[in-house]
Structure 1
Amino acid sequence: MRVAVVGGGIGGLVAALALRRAGCDVRVYEQAPAVGTVGAGIQLAPNATRILDALGVLPAVRRVAVAPTAFEFRRWDDGRLLSSTALGPAAQDAYGAPYLHVHRGDLVAVLADVVPVETGARCVDVAPGARDAEVRFAGGRVERADLVVGADGIHSVVRHAILGAADARFTGHVAFRGLIPAARVAGLPVERTATVRMGPGRHFVHYFVSAGRLLNVVCVVEENTWTRESWTDRGDPAELRAAFAGWDPVVRSLVDALDAPLKWALFDRLPFGRWSKGPVTLLGDACHPMLPYGAQGAAQAIEDAWVLAACLRDNDDVPAALARYETLRHDRTARVQELSRGNAVRFHLPDGPQQEARDAAIASSNGLSPDIDWLYGYDPLAGHA
């Protein structure tokens, strides 16, 4: 089976690897001139790492990753610890796979080392046919494939081609993000944990990546005027400092260490009813973009990739296999979208009775959602769902 994967990010590369293992002839087309290092840190929960392990790349990922010891929630003004959930060996024992932090560029490099990628190939349209599909590129080039997988992100050209125009929704949240060399924060009480500091109208996340050499920092604020969804737009350090004035001194020190923060508007979508047409389908942010507040965007794309490959391995009738893939993935991804959307409110409560109830609930449940076993324990290796 000839497969064209449009998009050389995490989801596209994992899909290509899984589909190759299923016996497909896969080509990956990436519009950027080189396999990119844009982006910053991502969290890979056990539902993602068990798939990377099955695909044989987890040892290489471990070499560039950090295994956090715990997931922490802290208060905004004094840094008080509200809850701490053990990760490290505890996550491995509970779910049979590790919890890791990794720089997106490091993960893409690991995947691109085993999956060939054609760069500089900008898809401008896809035309599904009865038996195959055309992928049309800038400059007039056309390729045909038995299956086209759109892994080209929230502004997907492939999705537009098969489902029509559908703008993503701006959430009113903006993230400032950046990477700080570990040596610059050596004097601060910043451990190898995944830490979320929650405050009125904003929250602050930090964790180490790149084998501990860099600290990834994400600072989320509520703002309605910045609507650019880009990983490369520069933010104003003075604006960021003002947004977190009065917060815990550790937060203010980390903000001061961000010399050139990037500014990124956050978008999501309500679930689509379907995301395939004929021999064309979507995965990851192309069909179910979600806010980063569940740390599951990359993980859900990785799950998509594995399930898609399994469905095609079991059924060489492509439209039927794609229908099965959608059935297996739709409700789960919609639920993860909703969990992430709920955290947008939960993390930003103003001080008062609701915030006190939230903090009490966090303390009594070790911080993480009651859905966490459902989320991290998902094992498509044991079947397709």
Structure 2
Amino acid sequence: MSSRVAVVGAGIGGLAVAGALLRKGFQVDVYEQAAALRDVGAGMHLGCNGSRILRRWGFGAWLDRAGVRPVALEVRAWDDGRTLNRQVMGEDWVAEFGTPYHTIHRADLQRILVEHAAGARVRLNHRLTGFTDRGDGVRLSFASGRTATADVLVGADGMHSVVRGAVAGHERPVFSGTSAFRGMVPAGSVPDLPPETMFLWVGAGARLLCYPVSGGRFLTFVAVVPDPGSGTESWSSEGDPAELQALFERWHPHARALVGAVRETRRWGLYDRQPLESWGTGRVTLLGDAAHPMLPHHGQGANQALEDAVALAHFLHTDEPGAGLRRYEDLRRPHTARVQLGSRGSGSLRVRPGGGGELASLVEDTSWIQRYDVEGVLFGEVVAR
């Protein structure tokens, strides 16, 4: 078993795998290019598959305080606001999938994972510029001129991963033709929307989703709109609230009230990549968005990173470094590719005005993701499907 692992990136995936490795007895160094771990982002979905992992790690009480268990997803028409469909969630999903579905602010999830990775050495202001796999270890080089060594390198450095670039070479991002506005508003600014329900307004060319976070005190919104101009591939790029409001000026008053309460928003072009045939060689691998950047329509980005973290720590603990990394990839690549490709043209994009049973069909089509238990697969308790 290797003793020291270098994790590049201190986002959700990097912190998750750092904590998972610590639980297996590894020494972990996390290298982050930013000068501080900032509370950035908005809300996110913590599916039953991700919630299951965090509860097993002992963070159930944290999730119950910081997150929200939506009671339902309600689909409404863009123009007259009529309810097209309503999917009950809450305790019904606990009964169906064995653990709750949460919506949570990214900063709250980050705080949970910082606690989880408390035994790791987090090195800020370390921007990776290159690495060399020497066979018996990996040498890392940083923009500052500093270097470091480790037995294994895990690239958890996001969609613009330096490690992925070295592993996969030049790639052409796959643009979806859409971009998304994203942000939060106080729940009290939209009093006509029950704070424990997710709402999705659907129109012919756009979608507006909102869901509660921070114990129901705030609503996160995501507005997916056509974008013929190939928008910026960055979820932190600044957006214009006035432009957002203009795009929805003819929608139902509840939808207009939601976007009308927006004072700050981010807009990012929705891209992904083709699944890779390999995530690495030797003592190097990828994890999370660096391995499988996906569109947000399944709400699975963070959840798949959590699953990666569990699997990677398991195989590095049971095998020699090279063999362990390849077994990790062999397990995770087919699964994440299925989720990644399924996110194209799916999620809310499948629900159309007057679409009848599309929501129920969508839930059924993605229930295998919620039901997936990575630890059960690892220990032979269930069969990967």
Q: TM-score, normalised by structure 2?
A: 0.92
The answer (yes or no) to whether the contact 2:126–2:144 under 8 Å persists in 1 is no
Runs of 5+ in structure 2 lacking a partner?
A: 379-383
Which residue of the partner structure matches residue 310 of structure 1?
314
* In 1, Cα distance between equivalents of 2:364 and 2:62: 32
Give a deviation string over 1:83-132, Cα, whole Å, max 9, x none: 22222211112111110011111111121123243222211112222121
Which deviates the most, 49-58 or 290-299?
Answer: 49-58
The answer (yes or no) to whether the contact 1:179–1:216 under 8 Å persists in 2 is yes
Aligned residues: 374
1:136 to 133, 141, 150: 141
* In 1, Cα distance between equivalents of 2:89 and 2:60: 17
Distance apart, 1:344 and its partner CA: 6.8
The answer (yes or no) to whether the contact 1:150–1:159 under 8 Å persists in 2 is yes
Is 1:258 matched with 2:262? yes
Which residue of the partner structure matches residue 356 of structure 2?
360
The answer (yes or no) to whether the contact 1:47–1:379 under 8 Å persists in 2 is yes
User: How is 1:86-97 mapped onto 2 (pairs within 5 angstroms)?
Assistant: 86-97=88-99
Relative to structure 1, the CA distance from residue 345 to residue 213 in structure 2 (aligned partners, 3 Å threshold; closer, same or farther) is: closer
The answer (yes or no) to whether the contact 1:15–1:302 under 8 Å persists in 2 is yes
SS of structure 2 residue aligned to 1:360: coil
Distance apart, 1:373 and its partner CA: 2.7
Which deviates the most, 139-148 or 191-200?
Answer: 191-200
Give a deviation string over 1:16-35, Cα, whole Å, max 9, x none: 11111112111111111111
* In 1, Cα distance between equivalents of 2:64 and 2:131: 36
Distance apart, 1:168 and its partner CA: 2.1
The answer (yes or no) to whether the contact 1:127–1:161 under 8 Å persists in 2 is no
SS of structure 2 residue aligned to 1:369: helix
* In 2, Cα distance between equivalents of 1:379 and 1:75: 35
Distance apart, 1:348 and its partner CA: 7.5
SS of structure 1 residue aligned to 2:260: helix
Distance apart, 1:61 and its partner CA: 2.7
* In 1, Cα distance between equivalents of 2:253 and 2:268: 24
Which residue of the partner structure matches residue 336 of structure 1?
339
Which residue of the partner structure matches residue 77 of structure 1?
79
User: How is 1:1-385 mapped onto 2 (pairs within 5 angstroms)?
Assistant: 1-116=3-118, 117-185=122-190, 187-315=191-319, 317-343=320-346, 346-347=349-350, 356=354, 359-362=355-358, 365=360, 368-384=362-378, 385=384
Give the percent of matched residue pairs that are identical in Structure 1 and Structure 2: 44
Runs of 4+ in 1 over 4 A off after TM superposition: none
The answer (yes or no) to whether the contact 1:85–1:368 under 8 Å persists in 2 is no
Distance apart, 1:273 and its partner CA: 0.7
Relative to structure 1, the CA distance from residue 175 to residue 242 in structure 2 (aligned partners, 3 Å threshold; closer, same or farther) is: same
Relative to structure 1, the CA distance from residue 346 to residue 184 in structure 2 (aligned partners, 3 Å threshold; closer, same or farther) is: closer
Which deviates the most, 287-296 or 52-61?
Answer: 52-61
SS of structure 1 residue aligned to 2:61: helix
Q: Aligned AA for 2:40? A: V
Runs of 5+ in structure 1 lacking a partner?
A: 350-354
* In 1, Cα distance between equivalents of 2:97 and 2:341: 23
The answer (yes or no) to whether the contact 1:200–1:348 under 8 Å persists in 2 is no
The answer (yes or no) to whether the contact 2:298–2:347 under 8 Å persists in 1 is no
Distance apart, 1:347 and its partner CA: 4.1
The answer (yes or no) to whether the contact 2:195–2:216 under 8 Å persists in 1 is no
Q: Aligned AA for 2:142? A: F
Relative to structure 1, the CA distance from residue 233 to residue 217 in structure 2 (aligned partners, 3 Å threshold; closer, same or farther) is: same
Give a deviation string over 1:55-104, Cα, whole Å, max 9, x none: 22232232211111112222222222222222221111211111001111
Q: TM-score, normalised by structure 1?
A: 0.92
Give a deviation string over 1:327-362, Cα, whole Å, max 9, x none: 11111111111221022793475xxxxx54xx1232
Which residue of the partner structure matches residue 381 of structure 2?
none
Q: Aligned AA for 2:358? A: I
The answer (yes or no) to whether the contact 1:72–1:83 under 8 Å persists in 2 is yes
CA RMSD of aligned residues (A): 1.8
The answer (yes or no) to whether the contact 1:38–1:231 under 8 Å persists in 2 is no
SS of structure 2 residue aligned to 1:136: strand
Distance apart, 1:383 and its partner CA: 3.0
* In 2, Cα distance between equivalents of 1:345 and 1:106: 25
Distance apart, 1:163 and its partner CA: 2.2
* In 1, Cα distance between equivalents of 2:247 and 2:43: 22
